[in-house]
Every structure is written in C-alpha cells, then in structure tokens.
Amino acid sequence: MSNQNKRNKKKWIKRLIKDYPVFYQKVWLACLDIPKGKVITYKELAKMINNPKAYRAVGNALNKNPLPEIIPCHRVIRSDGNIGGYSRGIKKKIRLLKMEGIKIKDGKVCKAKNSKDSKK
C-alpha cells in the first residue's frame, strides 16, 4: 500500500471512530502501524502512544475496537508471549496470526531465532 493510500485509510478510519474516547482513538490508530506478520505487546503499544504505564487500558481499548477487520488489534500480545484476548475470540485471533505467518505454540507466540529476545 502506498503512503498516500495509508494516509487516506487513516483519514477514513478517523472519521469512523471520531465519536469514541480520544485514548481509544490513539490506540486504534497506532495499531495501523503494526506491520502484517509482526506482533507487539500491549506495553509497547502503550509506549507508542506516549502513555507507557497504560498497557492495561490499551487492552481495554483494543477490546472495544469497533473495526477489528480493519484495525489489526489481533497483532497485540502480552509481554510474556501469551496471545492475550481478542473481542472475536481466542481461536479467531490465533487463526488470524497464523494466516500472517506468526508461529504459535501452547497459546504463546514463538520468537524467531534471530529476534532480540532470543539472544538474552
């Protein structure tokens, strides 16, 4: 998707979510920046919106996502690698993540061998 298309998509989504709390809007719009095939933690998303201690509130906002087919909240996981919750159900979240190439074992996202965390 070109940068122009991304900007147009964000504008369109902003119009659709304008009646929701500003905090929710920030969380949902930040989700649009998570690339397909990647995951981040609730804590990392909280940092992205400059509210690093609000990771639980981020989870609550994601649960209220009115456009889960468009705003990819399924790409946000817990810090321990557990996939966390999803408003459409855990099975659907796992299916979506697997469709994007994310490996999951026993309810946790498997780290790539070359990831930063595997070097610890």
Helix, strand, coil percent values for the chain (each to nearest 5) = 50, 10, 45
Alpha carbon distance 36, 13 (integer Å): 18
73 catalytic? Reply is yes
Out of 13, 39, 46, 73, pick the active-site residue: 73
d(CA 9, CA 105): 33
Residues designated catalytic: 73
